[in-house]
C-alpha cells in the first residue's frame, strides 16, 4: 500500500530510477543540489528511509560500510573484492524459489533480496601471488 509521498521523496525516487547504479545518500544530496532542488541532507536520509519502508528503494552496504541506495527494479547480486572494493554484478539467482516459499509459508511480504559473495578479484589474486615469497 503506497503512502502519500512528499515532494522530496518523489524527487529522490526519480533520481534513483534514472540511475543504473546505487548511489550514496551524500552523492544523492549533491545530485539533487546540482538539479537545483533545495533539500537538506537530513531530509535525504529521512526520505530514503521512508521509501525503503515503502519497498521502492533498496540499500546495499559495501564492505567499507558505505550504503548505496537504488530503486527496486530487480534483485541485484554481486561478487565483491575485499582487497580493492570492486563489485561485479551477477545475473544468476539461486534463491528465487526460496523467496517464494518464504513469502507463502510465513505470509511475509518480500520487497527484494540481495546476495553478495566476498573474496578476491582476479587482479588482486594476481597481485597477492606475485608479492608472495
Which CATH number characterizes residue 101's domain?
A: 3.30.1490.190
Claim: this prediction has a pTM higher than 0.85: no
Are 52 and 7 within one domain?
A: yes
**Chosen domain end from 44, 73, 102:** 73
Q: Could you tell me the residue range of the domain that residue 112 belongs to?
A: 74-133
Burial 37-46 (b: 16+ CB within 10 A, else e): eebeeebbbe
Quick one: DSSP state of residue 3?
P
**Whether the predicted pLDDT of 129 surpasses 50:** yes
Mean pLDDT across 95-122: 87
What confidence tens digit (pLDDT) does each residue in 40-69 have?
999 999 999 999 999 899 888 887 888 999
Q: Do 3 and 63 reside in the same domain of the chain?
A: yes
Q: Percentage of the chain surpassing pLDDT 70?
A: 95
Average pLDDT, the chain: 88
Task: Give the domain-ending residue among 29, 52, 73.
Answer: 73
Contacts of 33 (CB under 8 A, 6+ apart): 39
Q: Are residues 65 and 1 part of one domain?
A: yes
Place of cell 608472495: 132
In 3D space, the residue among 32, 96, 100 whose CA is nearest the CA of residue 69 turns out to be: 32
Reported as a single tens digit per residue, the pLDDT across 74-84 is 667 889 898 89
For 102-129, what is the mean pLDDT? 88
The stretch 76-104 carries a mean pLDDT of 85
- Contact assessment for residue 72 and residue 58, using Cβ atoms and an 8 Å cutoff: yes
Query: 83 and 53 share a domain?
Result: no
Give the pLDDT score at 133: 73
| Residue 83, helix vs strand vs coil | coil
Amino acid at each position: 500500500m503506497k503512502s502519500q509521498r512528499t515532494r522530496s521523496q518523489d524527487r529522490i525516487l526519480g533520481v534513483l530510477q534514472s540511475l543504473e547504479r546505487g548511489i550514496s545518500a551524500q552523492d544523492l544530496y549533491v545530485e539533487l543540489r546540482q538539479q537545483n532542488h533545495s533539500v537538506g541532507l537530513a531530509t535525504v536520509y529521512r526520505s530514503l528511509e521512508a521509501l525503503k519502508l515503502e519497498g521502492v528503494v533498496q540499500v546495499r552496504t559495501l564492505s567499507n560500510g558505505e550504503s548505496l541506495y537504488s530503486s527496486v527494479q530487480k534483485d541485484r547480486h554481486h561478487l565483491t573484492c575485499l582487497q580493492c572494493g570492486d563489485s561485479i554484478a551477477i545475473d544468476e539467482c539461486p534463491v528465487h524459489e526460496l523467496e517464494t516459499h518464504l513469502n507463502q509459508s510465513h505470509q511475509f511480504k518480500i520487497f527484494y533480496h540481495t546476495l553478495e559473495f566476498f573474496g578476491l578479484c582476479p587482479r588482486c589474486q594476481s597481485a597477492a601471488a606475485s608479492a608472495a615469497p
